[in-house]
Amino acid sequence: MLKWLVSIVIVVALLGGLQPLLARYLPLGRLPGDVTMVRNGRTWHLPFTTTVLMSLLAWLILRWL
């Protein structure tokens, strides 16, 4: 259990550090179906399509393991 937790923390930290680089090449958060609203000077991002794609990818990876 501890190995899985440490592995997940490391992967999340790596992806967080690589996020600016990945944002150049992957349009995550800007796909059709992702909603961006501006109200009262605040910007709200609702990444519906990105969430579905990431969930599908995670399911495929876990299914493969």
Question: Sign (positive/negative) of CA torsion 33, 35, 13, 23?
Answer: positive
Q: For 23-45, what is each residue's pLDDT tens digit?
A: 788 888 888 999 999 999 999 99
Residue 65 has pLDDT above 80, yes or no: no
**What pLDDT sits at residue 63?**
87
Percent with pLDDT over 90 in the chain: 34
* 3-state SS record for the chain: CHHHHHHHHHHHHHHHHHHHHHHHHCCCCCCCCEEEEEECCEEEEEEHHHHHHHHHHHHHHHHHC
Contact 46, 35 (CB under 8 A): yes
